[in-house]
């Protein structure tokens, strides 16, 4: 470890930071599921919120996505993916659950 | 002067490839999101067969999650070793990442075989089809990741930590960490809600 450069050390600490946050954000939803302290609806909402936070943590610490230093092309790419996801996933769920409700 | 422009040209090429790889990852994210949407729609289409609560086991999901998360951080340690061009350390960390990924895959295959033996096979219901397609597609990606790690090890042993290796390694890292992100979706949408209800 004595041969490690400063830059490598910063990088390693970032991975450790990301890993620590990821462990916390994983253990809490598993504990909520196993413990049964919240009602299922509240537990589901908490799991969903923690998942979104954890995805952001992984993007920042593991995929090194730095939103302050990102190129315009990458912003467009991410925004376009977001729009497609919103339309296709949101649209599918809307149509299918609406259909499901009407078939009851 | 000549070598300098050749070098920056190469660096630009690697950057372009990384951007292209990001586009691939985003297209993969769209595929997975639609598989998640399909799963959500099929959630109660069990056709009288086993549902989420019957086939999910929290300990299995927890161990799989731990293996994949550890594989992500050990890959990060390989990236740190590459920063100082410590060849042997890169090899060791890549080897550990490979074993953790293989352990994850082994557990998943074991889980699938167990489910099929109990009669919870993909053809049993729309729900089970969507479950196997979603989780199986992720497993197929992990398999591809393992093959890629193995080729990275072979390339490193042949050429050492060159610029070309580092560029490919970076894309492999994006892929590997991306799979962990998809897994967050799988345990949050498939396993935990399955156990809760």
Q: How many domains does chain B have?
A: 1
- Give me the CATH number covering residue B155: 1.20.120.80
Q: Is residue B115 part of a domain?
A: yes
Alpha-carbon gap, residue A75 to B72, rounded angstroms: 25
Q: Is residue B47 part of a domain?
A: no
Of B80, B188, B195, the CB nearest to A15: B80
Q: Is residue B190 part of a domain?
A: yes
Of A16, A62, A73, the CB nearest to B72: A62
Range of the domain at B96: 59-196
Q: Does B12 touch chain A (CB under 8 A)?
A: no
Q: Is residue B23 part of a domain?
A: no
Q: Is residue B31 part of a domain?
A: no
Q: Does B184 touch chain A (CB under 8 A)?
A: yes
The structural domains of chain A, with segments of one domain joined by +, span 1-65, 69-104
DSSP letter string, chain B: -HHHHHHHHHHHHHHHHHHHHHHHHHHHHHHHHHHHHHHHHHTT--TTS--HHHH--HHHHHHHHHHHHHHHHHHHHHHHHHHTT-HHHHHHHHHHHHHHHHHHHHHHHHHHHHHHHTT--GGG-HHHHHHHHHHHHHHHHHHHHHHHHHHHHHHHHHH-S-HHHHHHHHHHHHHHHHHHHHHHHHIIIIIHHHHH-
> A93, B185: Cβ pair inside 8 Å?
no
> B174, A63: Cβ pair inside 8 Å?
yes
Q: Which chain B residues contact residue A76 at CB under 8 A?
A: none
Q: Is residue B12 part of a domain?
A: no
pLDDT per residue as tens, chain B (197 positions): 455 566 688 889 998 999 999 999 999 999 999 999 999 999 989 999 899 989 999 999 999 999 999 999 999 999 999 999 999 999 999 999 999 999 999 999 999 999 999 999 999 999 999 999 999 999 999 999 999 999 999 999 999 999 999 999 999 999 999 999 999 999 999 999 999 87
Interface test with A, best of B21, B188, B189, B193 (most A CBs within 10 A): B188
> A15, B62: Cβ pair inside 8 Å?
no
Residues near B67 by beta carbon (within 8 Å), at least 6 away in sequence: B100, B101, B103, B104, B107
Q: Is residue B180 part of a domain?
A: yes
């Amino acid at each position: 470890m004595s041969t490690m450069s400063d830059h490598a050390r910063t990088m390693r600490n970032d991975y450790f930071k990301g890993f620590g946050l990821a462990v916390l954000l994983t253990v809490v939803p598993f504990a909520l599921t196993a413990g049964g302290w919240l009602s299922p609806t509240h537990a589901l909402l908490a799991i969903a919120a923690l998942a979104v936070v954890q995805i952001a943590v992984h993007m920042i610490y593991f995929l090194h996505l730095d939103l302050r230093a990102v190129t315009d092309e990458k912003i467009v790419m991410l925004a376009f993916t977001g729009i497609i996801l919103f339309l296709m996933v949101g649209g599918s769920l809307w149509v299918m659950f609406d259909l499901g409700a009407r078939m009851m | 002067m000549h070598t300098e422009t050749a070098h920056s040209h190469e660096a630009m090429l690697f950057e372009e490839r990384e951007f292209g790889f990001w586009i691939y990852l985003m297209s993969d994210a769209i595929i997975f999101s639609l598989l998640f949407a399909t799963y959500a729609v099929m959630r109660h289409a069990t056709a009288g067969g086993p549902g989420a609560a019957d086939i999910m086991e929290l300990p299995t999901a927890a161990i799989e999650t731990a293996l994949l998360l550890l594989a992500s951080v050990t890959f990060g340690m390989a990236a740190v070793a590459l920063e100082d061009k410590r060849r042997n350390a890169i090899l060791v960390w890549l080897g550990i990442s490979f074993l953790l990924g293989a352990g994850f895959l082994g557990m998943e295959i074991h889980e699938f075989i167990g489910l099929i033996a109990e009669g919870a096979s993909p053809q049993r219901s729309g729900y089970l089809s969507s479950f196997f397609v979603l989780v199986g597609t992720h497993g197929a990606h992990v398999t591809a990741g393992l093959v890629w790690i193995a080729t990275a090890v072979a390339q490193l042993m042949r050429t050492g930590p060159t610029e070309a290796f580092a560029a490919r390694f970076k894309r492999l890292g994006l892929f590997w960490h991306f799979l962990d992100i998809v897994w967050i979706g799988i345990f949050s949408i498939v396993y935990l809600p399955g156990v809760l209800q």
